[in-house]
Structure 1
Amino acid sequence: MKVYVLLTDTGTILTKIIKLFTKEQHNHASISFDDNLNSVYSFGRKRSRNPFVGGFVRENVHEGLFRDANCAIYSYSISEIQFEKMTKKIREIEENKQNYKYNFLGLFAVAINKEVERKNAFFCSHFVAFILEESGVPVKKQKPLSLVTPHDIKETFSLNLVYEGKLAFYEGVKSTG
C-alpha cells in the first residue's frame, strides 16, 4: 500500500508571502491514498477566493487554485495497519471538521521558529506530518510537528518522487479529470 504526499505551489499571494520565509519551491502539503489523487486531504482554504477562511478540506486537484499549480508528488510504502490508522484519523477529523480550525498563528510561529500548539488547529504541513506520525511514520524529530514545513516532510523519510511539474499534466490527474 502507498500514501501520496502532494506538495504544491498555487501561485497565490499567500503562497508568495510564505515563499519569502521558506525560500522553498512548494509551500502547500496534502495527503492522498490513491495515485490518481481522487481523495486529497489537507488544511487550507475552504473557499478558493478567500485565504482567511480555512480548515480541514478535501481538495479537488482538477479545479480552483490547483488548475495551474506546480507540484511534486511523492509516494511512500505503508503497511495495511498504517493505512487503516491514517484513514481512520482523517475520517474522525472529517466527521468533526466543525471542531477544527486553520492555524494561521502557527504559520507565523514557523516563520520565527517558535512552537505554538493549539488544540484542533493545523496548517497544511502540520496536518500531513500529524497524520503520518499518528500512523507510525516518523517525521522530522528535530522539531515539533507544529513547526514542520512541506520541505521538512519531503526531507524526513524515504519518499519516492513520482512526478514533478504542472499538476494538470500529471498522468494520474489527466486520466481522471
Structure 2
Amino acid sequence: MKETNKIYILLSHSGSLFSKLINICSGFPYTHVSIALDSELNELYSFGRIHPYNPIIGGFVREDIENGTFSRFPETMCALYSLEIEEEQYNNLERELERFKKEKDKYGYNLLGVLSAAFNFPLHRKYNYFCSQFVSELLLKSGIRILDKNPDLTSPMDFGSCKELEIVYEGYLRTYNEVKMCPASFR
C-alpha cells in the first residue's frame, strides 16, 4: 500500500473591494484560493497582496490566517477542503513550492489573466499568476490532476465543485483553529 498525505485547499472571501467585485461577477461565495500542506494552515500559499494595506502590488505569498491580509478582514468566510495524495505527489508539491519560495521576487499578480479568464480567454504570463491559476498549475506540475480545466481559466468555483475534495470546515476563517480544537463540531 502506498504512503499518502493530506493537503488542503482553502477557499475564502475577505470582503475586500476586489473580492466583492469578483463575487458580483461570479456569483460564487468564495473569491480566493490557497493551498496548505498542513491542517493548521501554517504552510499556506497563494498569489495575492504582498503587503496587507496595498491591494495593487501582488505576487507569491505565504499567507497567515491570523495576521497579515486576513487580519485586516476579520469577517473573512472560508471553506476548507482536504485531498489525500500519494507520497510522490506530496514530494513533488513540496519541490514545486520550494521553487516558488526561492524565486518569489520574480513573481507578480496576473490581473490581466483574471480579466481574460472572465471572458474565457486563457492568458499565461511567465512569472505571473492569479490565485486559482497558481493552485491549479501547482497541482498539475506535482502530478495531481483533480480539475479538467486549463489553469489559466480556473476559478475558485472550480475548486468548490471538485468532487475529489472533501469539505473539512466552513465558516469564519478567524474561528477555524478554535473549531478545530473541538472535534464534535469539526467535520
Query: 3-state DSSP class of the match of 2:28?
Result: coil
TM-score with structure 2 setting the length: 0.88
Write the letter of the residue equivalent to 2:54: N
Structure 1 portions without partners, runs of 5+: none
Q: Distance in 1 between matches of 2:128 and 2:163?
A: 24
Write the letter of the residue equivalent to 2:156: P
TM-score with structure 1 setting the length: 0.93
Please say if residues 49 and 69 of structure 2, whose CA atoms lie closer than 8 Å, have aligned partners that are also in contact: no
Give the greater-gyration-radius structure (CA).
2
Query: 3-state DSSP class of the match of 1:156?
Result: coil
**Correspondence 1:162 to 2:168:** yes
**Correspondence 1:105 to 2:109:** no
Q: Distance in 1 between matches of 2:166 and 2:180?
A: 21
**Correspondence 1:82 to 2:89:** yes
Query: 3-state DSSP class of the match of 1:66?
Result: helix
Please say if residues 28 and 124 of structure 1, whose CA atoms lie closer than 8 Å, have aligned partners that are also in contact: yes
Structure 2 portions without partners, runs of 5+: 182-187
Shift of 1:157: 4.0
- 1:117-140 per-position Cα deviation (integer Å, ceiling 9, x unaligned): 111210000011111111122143
Aligned-pair Cα RMSD in Å = 1.5
Write the letter of the residue equivalent to 1:103: N
Please say if residues 37 and 173 of structure 1, whose CA atoms lie closer than 8 Å, have aligned partners that are also in contact: no
Q: Distance in 2 between matches of 1:75 and 1:66?
A: 20
Shift of 1:159: 0.4
**Correspondence 1:149 to 2:155:** yes
The residue number in structure 1 matching 2:184 is none
Q: Distance in 2 between matches of 1:173 and 1:90?
A: 28
Write the letter of the residue equivalent to 2:126: K
Shift of 1:156: 3.0
